[in-house]
Amino acid sequence: MDRIVLDSPLDMHVHFRTGNMLKFVVPYTACNFAGAMVMPNTDPIIDNHYALCRYREEIKAACKDAFFEPYMTLYFQTSYTRQMLEECRQDVLAIKLYPRGITTNSGHGVLISDPEVETVLGYMTELGIPLSVHGETDGYVMRREREFMRTYERWAVKYPKLKIIMEHISTAEAVNVLGTYPNVFATVTPHHLLMTTDDLCGDMLRPHLFCKPLLKSPEDRAALQALVLGELSDELQRKVMLGTDSAPHAKNKKECDCGCAGVFNAPYALPSIVPLFVEKDKLPELQRFVSDNAKAIYGIDTLPKMVELHRESQRANAFLGHLVGPKDDSYVCVVPMYADQILRWRVRKTWVDPVRTKVVLPKSPLAK
């Protein structure tokens, strides 16, 4: 098989930042996906309806002509009232909870033990707003996700009507929890699906693969692969969505002492995961992982944007740099996942299904 067409791929976890970085990175996602769920850990954070609507407009302006739907999130705050959430409801796909201090811009996150957290979880349950979670404790870094499982379990039992999305799962334990509670779902990133701690630091240190949660063991990766490929069960496979966690940081903020956590994978996210599914002859599972499951879990629909990939080698850019504005400080330079390496697949073209609409999309900037 040398050509596949994905129907309306969705990235259910992406970081776009703001300003020049946003203008630079949004097109990479907007060209290759029909929509994406956008994280609110910007500076300042997205914690009210007005900020959320303005942020959505900023993203839409950066999409130019691409057909692309940004699905918005709010940054979980214990100060939210039921009325405030009710007013936001139609514009919010999920509320993202960050435990305080565990990742980029999580200084405004919550203390999990704060009883006010549960007050807001109660409002969300009543209003049917899904909870998206960065599930890590502040313990030993390799055990943080495992330690957070007891919090997921407590919430899953206490709020059986609340949809809980375990973001960017990285461990076999998380796959277990996913299988135990009907109201728990998960996203998986391309890097956690394809790489291990060895890729990060087994040989030389690769700062561009440093992310939270950290890449884990071969056994953890095998559990994630079995999950997305449907080898555990069909039912479980339907609970997992692609969330790239594409998290751009400027090159100099990664290649330094105290480098930032985050993998910028938006340019090559789809080509990177395709071989795993093609080699095992799992194309229906790929379609479900990149789109259908998210539609069912979140109850969303999108334009019928088709993304065609060909089995064709390409060398990923060593870095991506661009002058986004007239000033000296508007040069943005980021290093993508798989920088300077050969990928076996590439996005060739995207279009909106002509049977359902007559509009033709502009070509992806990555397709030659």
Locate 253 and state its tokens: 């903020």
Cα gap 264→339, rounded to integer Å? 10
Beta strands in 189-292 (DSSP E): 240-242
Annotated catalytic, 234?
Answer: no
Query: Nearer to ligand DOR by C-beta: 15 or 288?
Result: 15
Closest CA to 191 of 308, 54, 339: 339
Query: Nearer to Zn ion by C-beta: 245 or 285?
Result: 245
Residue from 261, 296, 303, 367 touching ligand DOR (CB under 6 A): that is 261
**Cα four-point dihedral sign 105, 107, 113, 117:** negative
Instruction: Concatenate the DSSP letters of all residues of 156-186 into one string.
Output: HHH-TTS-EEETT--SHHHHHHHHH-TTEEE
Query: Nearer to ligand DOR by C-beta: 37 or 247?
Result: 247
Cα gap 130→31, rounded to integer Å? 27
Q: Binding partner of residue 49 among Zn ion, ligand DOR, none, CB under 5 to 8 Å per kind?
A: none
Q: Does 189 bind ligand DOR (CB under 6 A)?
A: no
Residue from 262, 267, 271, 336 touching ligand DOR (CB under 6 A): that is 262
Residue from 22, 92, 211, 278 touching ligand DOR (CB under 6 A): that is 211
Q: Binding partner of residue 41 among ligand DOR, Zn ion, none, CB under 5 to 8 Å per kind?
A: ligand DOR
Q: Does 13 bind ligand DOR (CB under 6 A)?
A: no
Q: In what order do the strands lie in the sheet with 131-133?
A: 10-14, 35-38, 69-75, 94-97, 131-133, 164-166, 184-188, 240-242
For residue 66, give the amino acid letter: A
Residue from 11, 173, 220, 245 touching Zn ion (CB under 5 A): that is 245
Q: Does 170 bind ligand DOR (CB under 6 A)?
A: no
Of 47, 91, 114, 245, the catalytic one is 245
Residues forming the active site: 245
The binding site for ligand DOR (CB under 6 A) comprises 15, 41, 103-104, 134, 211-212, 247, 261-262
